[in-house]
Structure 1
Amino acid sequence: MNILFDADRRLRNGWWMLVFIAFIAATRVVYAPLKAALAQLGVTEAWLEPVPFLLTLLATWAVLRLRRERLASVGFQMDRRWWRHAALGMALGMGSLLLAAGLILAIGGVRFQPDPERSLAALGYGLYVFLFVSLLEENLFRGFLFQRLVAGAGAWVAQIAFALLFAFGHWDNPGMDGTTRLVASIELGLAAILLGLAYLRTRSLALPIGIHLGWNWAQGYVLGFGVSGMDHPGWLQPVFQGQATWLTGGEFGPEASVLGILVDLLLIGLLWKWKGLAPASDAVPVAPVAATPTALPLNG
């Protein structure tokens, strides 16, 4: 068996994953000096928010150029359908977070009061910040690497692998210890499966990006919870009522609550029932790629 190429003389998926990881590693090398150079030019921290995503998008574009594929092939088809799915995802993300918060409220775990420093400007800035967080994380966790693993090893192998990776990627977050670490890791792993399923049902990153954005924004900048342990100024402030952290999520946010897990399972069930718009096969369609690729124009 040829370990480099398959029967169609295409480079195997595992090697493409390594190529992508190499490109991502290169962006990590240039990130710090690039950020410092932009700061010296007077670019503020707020305007630097898109930089990590743009660097990962550049890495994605580079590997797709080698494969002679368009950027749309990984799920960035910026057509009307894409925007409809993004809007639907945001509504689902916000609705599911509000459901989790409502359950915590119903058991007497929290009450809410207006944040005295709330402002529409803060809400807008939070939407901007979490837009690029969602774009970054979905491009990394449901983009090229995930899709190549789906194509090479199957959907469930990819789902489990990236669920573990997504949960492990949050282990250094503030408050990740004790029971919180256990409950939050389970919730984050289930959230990754949910987002992966959103991609598999649509073969687009629009729905997972929207879900991710809606959940995080509503969690942090609307209701004032911690977002994976990170504090953000909210329109409201949660005041916890002394219930166990594994019920309320505490300072970490509803991602550390068993009620958050319950909501994840509900959404996974709904997406599982939904047939979506994906091709019948679990494999991600891949255009034929010659062993020695040549560059073709790409859309962006």
Structure 2
Amino acid sequence: MMSPCSAEEPSPTERSRPMKSIFINSERRLRNGWKVLGSVALSVALILGLVLLQKQLPVELRRIVSGPLCAFFGVLLSSWLCLRLEREPLSSLGILPVRRSARDFGLGILGGAALVGAVAAVVFSLDGFHLERAASNGAAAIFKVSWFMLGVALFEETLFHGYAFQRAIRGMGPMWTQLVFAAVFSLAHAFNPGMDGGARTVALTATFLAGWMLGLCYLRTGGLALPVGVHVGWNGLLGLLGFGVSGEEFKGMWMPVFHGQPEWLTGGRYGLEASVVTLVVLCLFILALSRWKGTRQSEAPTPLTGAQGQGA
């Protein structure tokens, strides 16, 4: 005789299992996908709060404590809180010993500047532009551009290749993570000024490739210093030469005067990042990075080790 409570009806424990499988993996830890979403949501909230506070500062102080720098501190604080919950140190974010970080950062600046220099040289040789000295071309212009670009690089690299990127690698491996985060990095620039006509397609493709390149810089070193350095060198030289940086105007040491060549060659108002020459240079550099074995050492974080066992 069957009881009113049929034996086929799942018990409370059984009913909780599907929910547990959604949020908790086989190691009884929160799945990395939820860690990614949670860290991004927390970062956005902290960024908005700090940027709003920054706008209340005096104008003179706002020039030093820039919006991108405040955004960086927001992401850094979010990352620290997430790592505290996992009982991991902030250094596991990819902050390596000072000596190695300084070396990677310096090499990154040289590498990023060399990439922009190569693009500029090719476009110049094709009669795309010539440079004229700007009115404010002293040390103050160099410092202003460099300081602002450092804030941008710290913010974007910590956001796109920090905690969320690293936990995504543990959940779905490096290849899919690179694809997803490079695409998000590109889409984050989709509404920047200067994207007219075909420039939009070239610029978004170049930004996707740049995101992939910067992700490889992290994967090959296990640290954030190299991608931050490349980012600073790339944006910094663009700004100092007076080109648009992702569509934003900067008053550097020089000003480009265009010779009427098509925008797919010069990048136009958006900057050299919307030039097809940039696509070629980035592809070549990505190929070189892919063949490079990297400089990971024992003290570097190893996000690839968890890619096979922790689940999404």
TM-score by length of 2: 0.86
Query: Counterpart in 2 of 1:190?
Result: 209
CA distance in 1, matches of 2:196, 2:88: 43
* Higher mean C-alpha displacement, 230-239 vs 274-283: 274-283
In structure 2, what residue type is equivalent to 1:71? Answer: L
Pairwise CA distance, 1:78: 4.0
Tell me, what secondary structure is at the counterpart of 1:237? strand
In structure 2, what residue type is equivalent to 1:246? Answer: W
CA distance in 2, matches of 1:15, 1:263: 36
Pairwise CA distance, 1:15: 1.4
Matches within 5 A, 1:89-104: 89-104=108-123
CA distance in 1, matches of 2:83, 2:27: 18
Tell me, what secondary structure is at the counterpart of 1:154? helix
Query: Counterpart in 1 of 2:247?
Result: 229
Kept in 2: contact 1:94–1:211 (CA 8 A): yes
Pairwise CA distance, 1:190: 0.3
Query: Counterpart in 1 of 2:65?
Result: 48
Kept in 2: contact 1:150–1:282 (CA 8 A): no
Pairwise CA distance, 1:26: 2.2
Larger radius of gyration: 2
2:304 pairs with 266, 284, 289, which one? 284
Residues 183 and 36 of structure 1: CA distance in aligned 2, closer, same or farther (over 3 Å): closer
CA distance in 1, matches of 2:103, 2:47: 33
CA distance in 2, matches of 1:32, 1:114: 34
Count, aligned residues: 283
Regions of 4+ moved over 3 Å:
36-39, 278-286
1:261 aligns with 2:284: no
Query: Counterpart in 1 of 2:81?
Result: 62
Tell me, what secondary structure is at the counterpart of 1:15? helix
CA distance in 2, matches of 1:261, 1:250: 15
Matches within 5 A, 1:1-300: 2-39=21-58, 44-49=61-66, 50-221=69-240, 223-278=241-296, 283-285=303-305
Pairwise CA distance, 1:251: 1.5
CA distance in 1, matches of 2:61, 2:47: 20
Alpha-carbon deviations, 1:180-230, whole Å to 9, x = none? 100000000000000011111111111100000000000112x11110111
Tell me, what secondary structure is at the counterpart of 2:22? coil
* Higher mean C-alpha displacement, 198-207 vs 44-53: 44-53
CA distance in 2, matches of 1:3, 1:131: 39
Alpha-carbon deviations, 1:152-202, whole Å to 9, x = none? 111111111111111111111111231010000000000000001111111
Q: Which runs of 5+ in 2 are unaligned?
A: 1-17, 307-312
Q: CA RMSD in A?
A: 1.9
Pairwise CA distance, 1:260: 0.7
